[in-house]
C-alpha cells in the first residue's frame, strides 16, 4: 500500500517508498479537488484513477489505482491534513473486466444456429475491448458439410473466413466473408496452431510472423498501415474435433502487447464460441440433409398434362423451426385425367420429411388403383395410423405434437370438365373463375389423417375451362401477426392479380403472402384447367350381342383414320375386340366403348359389372384366359377402375411422333 500525508495546503509532508515509486502519488486535478473536499467536509473520499504511474519513465505502465483521501484530525477534532492511501488494483480491475467480457460472451455468442452469425458475434464481443482485430477461420471441408477428422491437423490447410472485425482510428470495419478462403502453408502461424492444437502469442518481429508476412506484400502493407505489433492465435476445438482457428491482433490503438493472462482469456472465449460453432455446424449439416431428403422426395419435375397447366413452389421453414413435412404432387391417371395432391405431416425434422416421403409414395400407389378421393383418404388414414404405431407415436419427430397429417386429394377429368375433391383436415383450395372472381371451395373438412373412425366425403363439381385451382398448405396463410381471416382474404386477392403466366402468378402470391420468408413450411400448387376438344373423344354404346363387336371395331378403325392414326389401327382392333367381347360375355349392360386421342391413345370399355378382371397364365389346352395377357403385351399399360355404375377397363398406346394432340386442347 502506498501512503502519503498532505497538510491543509495539500503539500506532501511524508510518503513511503511505494508512493515514491508511483512518482509521488496521484496528483491529477480531479483528485486534488477530492482531497480539498475531504478537508472541507471532513468525510473520506474514495475512487479510482487510470494512467501510467512510475517515477522512472522506463518502468511506466498503464495501471488502475484505488485511492482514499482520509481527513486527519487531532484530539479536539481539528483537521490537520489529509492522508492519501493508494492501492494498485490493476489486476483486480482486469479480472473484473475479463469476467464481464466472459459473461457478455456467454450471453451474445450462439444466439442463433448459424455458423457465420456465431463467428461474427465472437468478433463483436472482443473488438475493441480485448483486441483491435479479430478473425475467425474455419476448415473449408467442414463448411462443405464434410465431417472433420478428430485431433490436430498437420500440414498445409485451406481455411475459409466466416467473420472479421477491425478497429482502426476508432472506427470498426466489418469485412465481407463471402467466398474468402486461403491456403495456409505448413510453417504459417495458423497452420502451426492447428498442427500443435495449442494457442500461441507472437510479436510482429518474431521470425514466424516475419516469414509469413514476407510471402504476401499485401498482408505486409496492411500490417504496416495499422502498425500491428502483437498477435494471438487460438485453435477452435469442440468435442475433440478441430474446427478452425481464431486470430486476435493488437495495433497502435492498444499499445500494450498480449500477456499470458490475455491468452487464458482468449482460450476461454474461443472455447465458448467453439461449442456454439460446432452446434451450428451440426445443425446446418442436419438441416441440409433434411432439406435434401425432402426435396428429393418432392417431384423434381411436374409431368406435362393436357388436362391442366401447373406451377408450384415449396418454401422450407425458418432454421429455428426445422424442416417440415409439406408436399404436393401431380399424378397422371387413365383417361387423360389427373390427380392433384397437397399434404402436410405434423411436426418438423428429418422424421417428418421421411414420413412425408412414405405418404407421398402411398398416395401414388393408391392413385394407381384409381379409387375415389374419399376412398383414397380412408386408406391413407389407415396407413398413417399404422405408421404412428410403428414409430411409437412419434411420426413427426415431435413427441408433443399430435400424430398425423392433413391432405387434399382431387381428380380432374378434362373430358367432362368435372373435378372430384376430398380433404382430411386440410385447408380448402381456392378457385379463380375465368371471369376473375375468386373464392374458396366449400368442402367437408374431414378429420386429419391418423384419427380413424370418421368417414371422408367427396364433392364433385364442374369447372369451366380456364379455371384456376390453388392448393396450398397452412404455412402459406398462417401468421402470428395477422388474423387467419385477413390472411385468407389476402391470398384470395393475390390470386386474382394479372400475371403473364402461372409461374409469374406463383411468384406474386409467394411475395405477397411471405415477404419475409415462411415461419413454417409452405407449399403452393396452382392448376389451370383445360378440356379436351370434342373431336378428340369418340364414344359408342354397345349392345350386349357378340355381333356388335365387329361394328364397334370397324367404327374404331374409321375414327383412327380421321385422327391420322392408321399405324395404331391393327393393335386397336385387337384390343377393342378383346375388351368388348369380355364385357359382353362377363359384364352387364350398359356397355360403352370410348377412345381418347391425347398424348397417348386410350381405349376404355365400361360395363355394369363391378368385378375386376385378373390376368392369369392360360394352360396349353385352355380355351380362354389369354385376352388380358394379349392386351398387356400389345399396349403400353393397362388397368381397371371402379365407377358408380360398375367398372372401366382401359389401356394406353404410345403415339407415333407428330400425331400428338397439338391444338386439340381448349384452355
418-445: pLDDT as tens digits = 999 999 999 999 999 999 899 999 999 8
The whole-number pLDDT of residue 27 equals 56
**Mean pLDDT across the stretch 386-398?**
62
The whole-number pLDDT of residue 35 equals 86
At 59, is the pLDDT very low, low, confident or very high (cuts 50, 70, 90)?
Answer: very low
Distance (Å, rounded) from C-alpha 248 to C-alpha 225? 17
At 30, is the pLDDT very low, low, confident or very high (cuts 50, 70, 90)?
Answer: low
- Considering the domain architecture, whether residues 522 and 470 belong to the same structural domain is answered as yes
Which of 259, 288, 317 is a domain's end point?
288
- Considering the domain architecture, whether residues 282 and 314 belong to the same structural domain is answered as no
For the chain, percent of residues with pLDDT exceeding 90: 40
For the chain, percent of residues with pLDDT exceeding 70: 89
Distance (Å, rounded) from C-alpha 136 to C-alpha 213? 19
Q: Where are the beta strands (DSSP E) in 224-374?
A: 230-238, 241-250, 308-315, 325-332, 338-345
The whole-number pLDDT of residue 179 equals 55
The whole-number pLDDT of residue 470 equals 95
Q: Environment class of residue 379 by beta-carbon count within 10 Å: exposed (0-12), middle (13-18) or buried (19+)?
A: middle
- Considering the domain architecture, whether residues 349 and 400 belong to the same structural domain is answered as yes
The whole-number pLDDT of residue 145 equals 66
CATH number at residue 407: 3.60.40.10
The whole-number pLDDT of residue 429 equals 95
Asked whether residue 375 carries a pLDDT value surpassing 90, the answer given is yes
**Mean pLDDT across the stretch 133-150?**
81
With respect to residue 468, please indicate whether it lies within any of the assigned structural domains: yes
- Please tell me which residue, 143 or 592, carries the higher pLDDT value: 592
Which of 88, 111, 131 is a domain's end point?
88
- Considering the domain architecture, whether residues 278 and 332 belong to the same structural domain is answered as no
Asked whether residue 43 carries a pLDDT value surpassing 60, the answer given is yes
The whole-number pLDDT of residue 131 equals 92
- Considering the domain architecture, whether residues 651 and 516 belong to the same structural domain is answered as no
Distance (Å, rounded) from C-alpha 517 to C-alpha 321? 12
- Considering the domain architecture, whether residues 82 and 114 belong to the same structural domain is answered as no
CATH number at residue 277: 3.30.450.40
C-alpha cell at 496: 386474382
Which of 253, 288, 323 is a domain's end point?
288
Distance (Å, rounded) from C-alpha 55 to C-alpha 58? 9
The whole-number pLDDT of residue 89 equals 81
Domain that holds residue 555: 534-666
Handedness of CA 56, 62, 66, 67 (dihedral sign): positive
- Considering the domain architecture, whether residues 338 and 383 belong to the same structural domain is answered as yes
The whole-number pLDDT of residue 54 equals 55
Q: Choose the weakest-confidence range: 344-353, 387-396, 462-471, 540-549.
A: 387-396
- Considering the domain architecture, whether residues 400 and 506 belong to the same structural domain is answered as yes
Average pLDDT, the chain: 84
Residue 530: CB atoms within 10 A of its CB come to 21
C-alpha cell at 227: 502498425
The whole-number pLDDT of residue 295 equals 73
- Considering the domain architecture, whether residues 329 and 390 belong to the same structural domain is answered as yes
> In this structure, what are the phi and psi dihedrals at residue 259, rounded to the nearest 5 degrees?
-115, 170
**Mean pLDDT across the stretch 292-319?**
78
The structure's pTM equals 0.66
CATH number at residue 540: 3.30.565.10
Asked whether residue 619 carries a pLDDT value surpassing 70, the answer given is no
The whole-number pLDDT of residue 325 equals 80
Distance (Å, rounded) from C-alpha 449 to C-alpha 30? 77
With respect to residue 434, please indicate whether it lies within any of the assigned structural domains: yes
The whole-number pLDDT of residue 410 equals 96
- What's the N-to-C CA distance of the chain in angstroms? 96
Distance (Å, rounded) from C-alpha 528 to C-alpha 274? 52
> Do 309 and 527 meet the contact criterion of CB atoms below 8 Å apart?
yes
The whole-number pLDDT of residue 660 equals 61
Residue 79: CB atoms within 10 A of its CB come to 15
Reading across the β-sheet that carries 62-73, which strands appear in turn? Answer: 12-15, 2-7, 79-88, 62-73, 45-52
Asked whether residue 246 carries a pLDDT value surpassing 90, the answer given is yes
With respect to residue 197, please indicate whether it lies within any of the assigned structural domains: yes
The whole-number pLDDT of residue 176 equals 56
At 319, is the pLDDT very low, low, confident or very high (cuts 50, 70, 90)?
Answer: low
With respect to residue 46, please indicate whether it lies within any of the assigned structural domains: yes
> Do 371 and 340 meet the contact criterion of CB atoms below 8 Å apart?
no
Distance (Å, rounded) from C-alpha 450 to C-alpha 436? 37
- Considering the domain architecture, whether residues 389 and 482 belong to the same structural domain is answered as yes
At 615, is the pLDDT very low, low, confident or very high (cuts 50, 70, 90)?
Answer: low
With respect to residue 39, please indicate whether it lies within any of the assigned structural domains: yes
With respect to residue 441, please indicate whether it lies within any of the assigned structural domains: yes
The whole-number pLDDT of residue 603 equals 94
At 135, is the pLDDT very low, low, confident or very high (cuts 50, 70, 90)?
Answer: very high
With respect to residue 539, please indicate whether it lies within any of the assigned structural domains: yes
> Do 222 and 248 meet the contact criterion of CB atoms below 8 Å apart?
no
CATH number at residue 37: 3.30.450.20
With respect to residue 293, please indicate whether it lies within any of the assigned structural domains: no
**Mean pLDDT across the stretch 143-162?**
79
> Do 233 and 199 meet the contact criterion of CB atoms below 8 Å apart?
yes
- Considering the domain architecture, whether residues 30 and 119 belong to the same structural domain is answered as no
At 666, is the pLDDT very low, low, confident or very high (cuts 50, 70, 90)?
Answer: very low
Look at the chain and report how many structural domains it folds into. 4
- Considering the domain architecture, whether residues 588 and 524 belong to the same structural domain is answered as no
Amino acid at each position: 500500500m502506498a501512503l502519503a500525508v498532505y497538510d491543509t495546503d495539500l503539500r506532501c509532508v511524508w510518503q513511503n517508498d511505494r508512493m515514491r515509486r508511483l512518482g509521488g502519488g496521484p496528483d491529477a486535478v480531479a483528485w486534488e479537488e477530492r482531497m480539498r473536499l475531504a478537508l472541507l467536509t471532513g468525510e473520506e473520499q474514495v475512487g479510482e484513477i487510470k494512467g501510467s504511474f512510475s517515477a522512472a519513465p522506463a518502468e511506466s505502465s498503464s495501471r488502475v489505482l484505488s485511492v482514499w483521501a482520509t481527513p486527519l484530525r487531532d484530539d479536539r477534532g481539528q483537521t490537520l491534513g489529509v492522508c492519501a492511501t493508494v492501492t494498485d488494483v490493476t489486476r483486480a480491475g482486469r479480472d473484473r473486466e475479463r469476467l464481464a467480457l466472459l459473461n457478455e460472451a456467454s450471453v451474445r455468442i450462439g444466439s442463433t444456429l448459424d455458423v457465420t452469425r456465431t463467428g461474427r458475434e465472437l468478433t463483436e464481443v472482443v473488438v475493441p475491448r480485448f483486441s483491435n482485430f479479430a478473425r475467425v477461420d474455419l476448415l473449408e471441408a467442414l463448411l462443405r458439410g464434410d465431417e472433420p477428422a478428430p485431433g490436430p491437423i498437420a500440414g498445409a490447410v485451406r481455411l475459409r473466413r466466416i467473420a472479421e472485425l477491425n478497429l482502426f482510428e476508432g472506427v470498426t470495419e466489418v469485412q465481407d466473408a463471402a467466398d474468402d478462403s486461403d491456403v495456409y502453408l505448413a510453417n504459417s502461424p495458423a497452420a502451426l496452431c492447428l498442427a500443435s492444437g495449442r494457442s500461441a502469442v507472437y510479436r510482429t518481429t518474431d521470425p514466424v510472423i516475419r516469414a509469413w508476412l514476407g510471402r504476401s506484400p499485401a498482408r505486409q502493407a496492411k500490417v504496416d498501415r495499422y502498425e500491428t505489433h502483437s498477435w494471438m492465435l487460438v485453435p477452435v476445438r469442440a468435442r475433440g474435433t478441430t474446427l478452425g482457428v481464431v486470430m486476435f491482433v493488437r495495433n497502435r490503438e492498444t499499445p500494450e502487447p498480449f500477456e499470458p493472462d490475455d491468452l487464458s482469456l482468449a482460450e476461454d472465449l474461443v472455447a465458448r464460441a467453439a461449442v456454439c460453432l460446432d452446434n451450428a455446424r451440426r445443425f446446418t449439416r442436419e438441416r441440409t440433409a433434411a432439406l435434401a431428403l425432402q426435396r428429393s422426395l418432392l417431384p423434381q419435375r411436374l409431368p406435362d398434362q393436357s388436362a391442366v397447366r401447373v406451377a408450384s413452389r415449396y418454401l422450407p421453414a425458418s432454421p429455428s423451426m426445422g424442416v417440415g413435412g409439406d408436399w404436393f404432387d401431380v399424378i397422371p391417371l387413365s383417361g387423360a385425367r389427373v390427380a392433384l395432391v397437397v399434404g402436410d405431416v405434423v411436426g418438423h425434422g428429418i422424421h417428418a420429411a421421411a414420413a412425408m416421403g412414405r405418404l407421398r409414395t402411398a398416395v401414388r400407389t393408391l392413385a394407381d388403383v384409381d379409387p375415389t378421393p374419399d376412398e383414397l383418404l380412408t386408406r391413407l388414414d389407415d396407413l398413417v395410423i399404422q405408421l404412428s404405431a410403428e414409430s411409437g407415436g412419434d411420426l413427426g419427430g415431435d413427441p408433443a405434437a399430435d400424430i398425423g397429417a392433413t391432405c387434399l386429394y382431387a381428380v380432374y377429368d378434362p373430358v367432362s370438365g368435372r373435378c372430384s375433391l376430398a380433404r382430411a383436415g386440410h385447408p380448402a383450395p381456392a378457385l379463380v373463375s375465368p371471369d376473375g372472381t375468386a373464392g374458396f371451395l366449400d368442402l367437408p373438412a374431414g378429420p386429419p389423417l391418423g384419427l380413424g373412425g370418421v368417414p371422408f366425403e367427396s364433392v364433385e363439381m364442374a369447372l369451366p375451362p380456364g379455371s384456376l385451382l390453388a392448393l396450398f398448405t397452412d404455412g402459406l396463410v398462417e401468421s402470428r401477426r395477422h388474423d387467419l381471416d385477413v390472411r385468407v382474404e389476402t391470398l384470395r386477392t393475390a390470386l386474382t392479380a394479372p400475371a403473364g403466366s402461372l409461374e409469374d402468378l406463383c411468384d406474386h402470391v409467394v411475395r405477397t403472402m411471405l415477404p419475409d420468408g415462411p415461419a413454417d413450411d409452405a407449399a403452393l400448387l396452382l392448376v389451370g384447367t383445360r378440356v379436351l376438344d370434342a373431336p378428340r373423344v369418340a364414344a359408342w354404346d354397345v349392345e350386349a350381342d357378340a355381333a356388335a363387336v365387329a361394328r364397334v371395331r370397324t367404327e374404331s378403325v374409321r375414327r383412327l383414320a380421321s385422327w391420322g392414326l392408321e399405324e395404331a389401327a391393327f393393335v386397336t382392333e385387337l384390343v377393342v375386340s378383346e375388351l368388348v367381347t369380355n364385357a359382353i360375355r362377363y359384364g352387364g349392360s350398359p356397355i360403352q366403348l370410348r377412345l381418347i386421342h391425347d398424348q397417348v391413345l386410350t381405349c376404355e370399355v365400361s360395363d355394369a359389372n363391378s368385378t375386376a378382371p385378373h390376368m392369369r397364365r392360360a394352360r396349353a389346352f385352355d380355351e380362354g384366359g389369354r385376352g388380358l395377357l394379349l392386351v398387356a403385351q400389345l399396349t403400353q399399360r393397362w388397368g381397371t377402375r371402379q365407377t358408380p355404375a360398375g367398372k372401366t377397363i382401359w389401356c394406353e398406346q404410345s403415339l407415333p411422333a407428330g400425331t400428338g394432340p397439338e391444338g386439340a386442347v381448349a384452355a
